[in-house]
Amino acid sequence: MGMIGGGIGAFIGDAHRRASRICNDYELVGGVFDADYEKSKEFAAGVGIPLQRCYKSVDALIKTELSLPAAERMEVVAIVTPNALHYGFAKKLLVAGFNVICEKPMTMTVKEAQDLEKLVAKTKKTFALTHTYTGYPMVRQMRDLIRKGVLGTIQRIDAQYYQGWINSIIYGTGSRITGVWRLDPKHAGVSSCMGDIGVHAFNLIEFTTGLEVKEVLSDLNSVKEGIQLDLDGTVLIRFSNKKLKGVIRASQVCGGLENDIVISVYGSKGSLRWGQENPNYLYFYSDSEPTRIYKPAHGYNMKNAEEAHTMPAGHPEGIYEALANIYKGAAKSIRKQKFDPCEFPTVHDGVRGMKFIHAVVNSNGKGNVWVKV
């Protein structure tokens, strides 16, 4: 594996490296860790990567790696740069024949996302998008229980993603500055809150239910004078089935909240609810029996959930293991092993996400009207 971005101080790159090591199917052998070559080399030295594979640019990486014998060459490259750079790098790498693991949001525009989708179809390479939360065992269990039909008719869908960390940035009280580029449209794209976290909530809805959001009506909030992007918003959502409606709620200004993701799917026969901060608990509500709590590492779980947890019951696994599960799924795909579609999000999920972000921003810009996704 190679890596683009993720140098010193970048927590998401570190997360990817840990995840790749946990699942034990990857070895980081080189990359472009920072736009600043000196910093990149410093990082490489720190983690024991030979300087000759610490490249000045993605072009240099591609050129040199392609010159290596196939057995020594990087099989896959992880892109963990700011959003604006994903597209260009992913395109070059796919064209050059590399498999790609890419952070979300996948691109800046829907058009770019669709380009990548075509490219993946053409190159037949593996492209994994790290919607990390789909890697949690109980999220996979939720998906498979819904496919099995335990909810009856789905009647309402409600997804929440609330954080509070941007308060410390916009009010200048805090020191968590890694996210400042997220407020700059040049780097973050058309949206902050919806692009960074709302899209996760959207993805969890489509992932767990297998349904597509068809239309959105949004009301976004930039919260403070001088902020150009949304930091908060609510999105009404509709589906093909006109009798099913729902809502996505996301915010980066909920003071003191950490990473409060909750996905709830409500049906005629029961409901399922999962929250990320206690990820090993999945709740099933029914009128006709006591509430059930599903937990990992039990024979009652379905196959995908069971395979996504390695410890015995009661030994909590967390976010790194969730990401490792996605890495593991991608590895299976790269190695042409059998895998379930739930095992990693694809370029198609990336296209859906970009359509969602743009539809939400458009709906808000046009005065809170329905816009197709």
Q: Restricting to residues 25-84, which ones interact with a second copy according to CB under 8 A?
A: 47
How many binding residues for a second copy (CB under 8 A)? 92
Cis status of the peptide bond prior to 105, with omega within 30 of 0 = yes
Tokens 């000759």 belong to: 52
**Considering only residues 236-295, where is the footprint of a second copy by CB under 8 A?**
236, 238, 243-247, 249, 251, 253-260, 264, 266-271, 276-280, 284-295
Q: How far is the CB of 109 from a second copy (least distance, A)?
A: 27
Angle formed at CA 277 by CA 189 and CA 373, multiple of 5 degrees? 35
Return the number of the residue (192 or 346) whose C-beta is nearest a second copy. Answer: 192
Residue pair 351/112 in contact (Cβ under 8 Å)? The answer is no
Report if residue 312 touches a second copy, rule: CB under 8 A.
yes
CA distance 220 to 231: 8
DSSP, collapsed to helix, strand or coil, labels residue 233 as strand
**Considering only residues 139-178, where is the footprint of a second copy by CB under 8 A?**
151-152, 155-156, 158, 162-165, 167-168, 171, 174, 176
Of the listed pieces 14-22, 59-67, 202-210, 329-337, which binds a second copy according to CB under 8 A?
14-22
Q: 273 has which bridge partners?
A: 264, 283
CA distance 202 to 159: 7
Report if residue 320 touches a second copy, rule: CB under 8 A.
yes
The set of residues, in sequence order, having a beta carbon less than 8 Å from that of 210 and lying 6+ positions away, is: 143, 146, 147
Q: How far is the CB of 358 from a second copy (least distance, A)?
A: 20
Q: How far is the CB of 92 from a second copy (least distance, A)?
A: 29
Report if residue 192 touches a second copy, rule: CB under 8 A.
no
Question: Which of 45, 51, 180, 313 forms a contact with a second copy (CB under 8 A)?
Answer: 313
The set of residues, in sequence order, having a beta carbon less than 8 Å from that of 55 and lying 6+ positions away, is: 30, 31, 32, 40, 61, 64
Report if residue 11 touches a second copy, rule: CB under 8 A.
yes
Question: Which of 105, 137, 198, 233 forms a contact with a second copy (CB under 8 A)?
Answer: 233
